[in-house]
Amino acid sequence: MPSLFDPLRVGPWDLPNRIVMAPLTRNRAPDAIPTPLMAEYYLQRASAGLLITEATAISAQGQGYADVPGLYGTEQLDGWRRITDAVHAHHGRIVVQLWHVGRVSHVDLQPHAGKPVAPSAITAKTKTYLIKDGVGSFAPTSEPRALDSEELPGIVHDYRHAARHAVSTAGFDGVEVHAANGYLLDQFLKTGANKRTDDYGGSIANRARLLLEVMRAVVGEVGGARTGVRLSPVTPANDIHDDDPQHLFEYVVRQLASLGLAYIHVVEGATGGPREIEDRPFDYAAMRNAWRKAGGKGAWMVNNGYDKRLAEHALQSGADLVSFGRHYLANPDLVTRLRTDAPLNPPDKSTFYGGGAKGYTDYPALAPALSQALV
């Protein structure tokens, strides 16, 4: 039976283990520009089979939180290049998560203080993160405006442009399209946020249209083998829900199967919360089977609340990769700690969002000599 520590070929990557660092928003990129401190953070975690970066905005319009990085400017791409070079120098593999937040934003973060955009003009009952005078705080999201259908090709273009420069300029090994957690593509997918009556609303096929257009565009730029996608069928994150998630997501993965993707990354349950939601049951095995039966060959990656025991069980039940979030936040040497059953550092919640090195790059690793001997 497969183990977390077995190697795996995924797309063009030879992963030394099946442990993935999940995307974690940390709000430490002033002016959306990646910093040397971020390079240290990712370098510390380069022993993961695969690193997935924090969600990274594909455009200024796609920005929804203060001090999150972008991929749409020269300085941003140069900052990411320093990070990918550092990770590669230590034999790591790193992909960037492409992000448009849609309605989960604030006028203070939008170009020209405009309204955030969404499939429909429905305000998300959630909060975003702002920094004013050096102090971070959470604030309710702003009322969005509905995107005109004529604007949607521009959104697709922004994903295509970001993917191309992520690989060719910033040096990433690939990209992950963020279609989860109540952000723009997830908003189009789900009935709770999408009340459109045009070709992008109503039926499952129509609501999935924008995601599929984005995925085809990204694959056309960087290839399916360097592309993944993150999905969250039943999470309530950012005030999102769907009336029939089982049929929706089985349809989505069947449509994605022909694109030759590197992986499907699935958030099981509520993002950062319970893995089972009483009023939102979901059959993830059926979703995976729909993907496989439709010809999907890429890896199946699972996420949310995994520890070593649950992760090993997931691999024995059909998953190929397991992504870890908070454990990776506080344990840069997570691979070694899991391999040796060493104690895990507890995360400091007060430093999750914003700040400097404290709670970011200062979590202790095992003694270097011991860690090296155990790898």
**DSSP one-letter code for 257:** G
Q: How many residues does the chain have?
A: 375
What average pLDDT does range 21-28 have in this prediction? Answer: 97
Give the pLDDT band of residue 308 (cuts 50, 70, 90): very high
What average pLDDT does range 246-258 have in this prediction? Answer: 98
Contact 262, 296 (CB under 8 A): no
Check residue 132 and give its pLDDT: 87
What average pLDDT does range 124-147 have in this prediction? Answer: 94
Judged by DSSP in three states, 374 sits in helix
Q: What is the largest CA-CA distance in the chain?
A: 62
Q: What is the DSSP string of 97-155?
A: EEE--TTS--GGGSGGGPPPEESSS---SSEEEEEETTEEEEEEPPPPEEPPGGGHHHH
Check residue 278 and give its pLDDT: 85
Check residue 133 and give its pLDDT: 84
Give the pLDDT band of residue 28 (cuts 50, 70, 90): very high
Count of domains forming the chain: 1
pLDDT at residue 288 is higher than 50: yes
Residue 2 lies in a domain: no
Residue 326 lies in a domain: yes
Average pLDDT, the chain: 96
> Residue written as tokens 């099946």?
18
Dihedral, CA of residue 240, residue 243, residue 246 and residue 252, to nearest 10: -70
pLDDT at residue 96 is higher than 70: yes
Give the pLDDT band of residue 368 (cuts 50, 70, 90): low
Q: Give me 295's structure tokens.
A: 């010809």
By DSSP bridging, strand 13-15 and strand 8-10 are antiparallel
Domain CATH for 177: 3.20.20.70
Check residue 375 and give its pLDDT: 40
Domain holding 290, by residue range, is 8-374
Could you give the CA distance from residue 156 to residue 144 in angstroms, rounded to a whole number? 19
pTM given for the model: 0.96
pLDDT at residue 370 is higher than 70: no
Q: What is the pLDDT of residues 150-185, one digit of tens each?
A: 999 999 999 999 999 999 999 999 999 999 999 999
Residue 72 lies in a domain: yes
Q: What's the count of helices (H) and strands (E) in the chain, helices before strands?
A: 12, 14
Give the pLDDT band of residue 369 (cuts 50, 70, 90): very low
Residue 117 lies in a domain: yes
Judged by DSSP in three states, 42 sits in helix
Check residue 87 and give its pLDDT: 98
> Residue written as tokens 């401190």?
37
Residue 147 lies in a domain: yes
By DSSP bridging, strand 117-118 and strand 174-179 are unpaired
Could you give the CA distance from residue 197 to residue 206 in angstroms, rounded to a whole number? 9
Residue 132 lies in a domain: yes
284 is catalytic: no
N- to C-terminal Cα distance for the chain? Answer: 21
Could you give the CA distance from residue 110 to residue 313 in angstroms, rounded to a whole number? 43
What average pLDDT does range 272-284 have in this prediction? Answer: 90
Give the pLDDT band of residue 372 (cuts 50, 70, 90): very low
Give the pLDDT band of residue 374 (cuts 50, 70, 90): very low
Residue 3 lies in a domain: no
Could you give the CA distance from residue 152 to residue 295 in angstroms, rounded to a whole number? 29
Q: Which of 42, 72, 129, 183 is catalytic?
A: 183
Residue 358 lies in a domain: yes
Share of residues in the chain with pLDDT > 70 (%): 98
> Residue written as tokens 């989505």?
252
**DSSP one-letter code for 15:** E
Check residue 373 and give its pLDDT: 39
Check residue 357 and give its pLDDT: 98
pLDDT at residue 125 is higher than 90: yes
Could you give the CA distance from residue 260 to residue 208 in angstroms, rounded to a whole number? 18
Check residue 236 and give its pLDDT: 96
